[in-house]
A and B are shown apart, each in its own frame.
Chain A
């Protein structure tokens, strides 16, 4: 029983250890991808900033501020696979909290889910799910971000939702990730976006635009939305792997602890059974010795019995009822062994 449990704990430990190592390499990769994607979004922000410096304002549908919010859209980024500690559940809980908060204010909700975990959770609880994307959260591609962004843009521009909030896991370091809720759409006005960047404003103020600042901005804003979503996806992926790594590490540690405990238990049980056996033999022997002392004929001393080599001789004497000879033979033997043969 115990041996089987130890075996299963050991193989579980091997699996969690492997998953931990895989997750660790994935974290590094995801971090690199996130870092590689930074220049693009930085550049786009910078271009927008330059446009703002040039005093460009356009009425782009993505900038539309709703005067009366009726429905709020939520994008929740979770993973497809579990075993990642609290990663998925904290995003899901944050999303649910947001939905409830907005329902209290009388807003309707609309869910756009990324990852199987969120989909499973919200579908099971009969939430209305407007769109769900599965199979992209592990290693997000830009096309994936574009597909999601297109869906959200469509929901927003068509007026189906008036605000879009993004719920994802921000990646600070391998040790620290935090669930974050951000307003995603409408975009802050161009000037606000511009102020976020830290570019060289003097050089940019007199920029030339081709074909026109408005046209550039119009082409740029959808890209900006995609880039922001892509960044969030990448950060979430890095967070997912980091959090899986941590979960698997503690699972491995626990398995090791359990293995030690179980093998201690097993050793104790084995020791116990051996002790019991010895006690039984000794007990039996004591019973026989006392039988002999009580004068029952044919009783033999236990210490004389312990070596089988002399047993045929002893039993032969006993069978012939030559008890005196048997007694003297046993006196010569030490622990049943032929003392003379030993030396």
Chain B
């Protein structure tokens, strides 16, 4: 049986679909959910993409910058303030943001805002580079 995946932001439902497995990164490390997983609620960090292993094959990566994941009854709900699907990532903008953040870090190593901006930009770019298998085909 497949997992039901819901990606929800405050303004809209970003994505719904079926998956065989979902991998997300929580403060304690990556965690994978498959069918029959015990109920789980965790916070998500914007450090790595959420990987959705689609039923029809392929992996879709989603840039989830912060939020929560809840798993219950084979339904994976991802609540996120900011989440982007590969096709919605604005690559030139993310690249510009990355370069800006790097420049800021070069002058001020302890700049947390810049570090966070760099993480976000890199996550976006990684997701965009991985692409969306379901729609590319």
In the assembled complex, which residues on chain B have CB atoms less than 8 Å from the CB atom of A209? 40-42
Instruction: Say whether B79 contacts A210, CB under 8 Å.
Output: no
User: Are B68 and A220 within 8 A (Cβ)?
Assistant: yes
Q: How many of chain B's residues touch chain A, expressed as a range?
A: 20 to 34
Q: B9 at interface (Cβ–Cβ under 8 A)? A: yes
Which residues from chain A contact B6 at a C-beta distance below 8 Å?
39, 43
> Restricting to B35-69, which residues have a CB under 8 Å from any CB of A?
38-43, 68
For the complex, give the distance between the alpha carbons of A209 and B39 in Å: 9
**Interchain nearest-CB distance for B133 vs A (Å):** 25
Tell me, yes or no, whether A208 is within 8 Å of chain B by CB. yes
Check A269 for interface membership: any CB of B closer than 8 A.
no
Contacts of A210 in B (CB 8 A): 26-28, 31, 40-43
Known A142-B81, A208-B38; contact A40-B9, beta-carbon cutoff 8 A: yes
Assembly CA distance A215 to B42 (angstroms)? 9
Tell which of A39, A203, A216, A223 touches B72, judged by Cβ atoms closer than 8 Å.
Answer: A203
A216 touches B41 (CB 8 A): yes
B11 lies within 8 A of A142 (CB): yes
With contacts A142-B81, A219-B68, A223-B81 known, is A204 near B39, CB below 8 A? Answer: yes
Q: How far is the CA of A141 from the CA of B39 in the complex (A)?
A: 32
Interface residues of A in 143-178 (CB under 8 A from B): 145-146
Q: How far is the CA of A40 from the CA of B68 in the complex (A)?
A: 11
CB of A219 within 8 A of CB of B43, answer yes
Which A residues between 205 and 225 are near B, CB-CB below 8 angstroms? 206-211, 213, 215-216, 219-220, 223
